[in-house]
Amino acid sequence: MKEGDLRERIKRAQERDGRVVKAVEELKKAGVKTLRDEEWEIDNGVVLKEGRIYVPEGKLRGEVIRLYHDTPVGGYRGR
């Protein structure tokens, strides 16, 4: 999976997540890039929570975990 494709899938999933939609609406309403002491922010169209890309619960989150967690680089090798 290409990183750009993954980023787009995450953006689409974020748009369907109620918490993310509410946070983004508050950011836009306030006219700022960060909200609640940087708990939520927008970076290049992707919503971050506490400085990390927020991936909503569901199938996509599982895919991201397997992709980045279950690798020899991650040190877990599927365990």
pLDDT digits (tens, 9 = 90+) for 2-27: 777 898 999 999 888 888 888 778 87
CA-CA distance, 1 to 14, in Å (whole number)? 19
Distance CA 48, CA 7 (A): 12
Quick: pLDDT tens for 28-71. Answer: 787 776 666 667 788 888 888 888 898 988 899 988 888 877 65
Give pTM, 2 decimals: 0.65
For 1-79, list the strands marked E by DSSP.
Answer: 34-35, 40-43, 46-49, 52-53
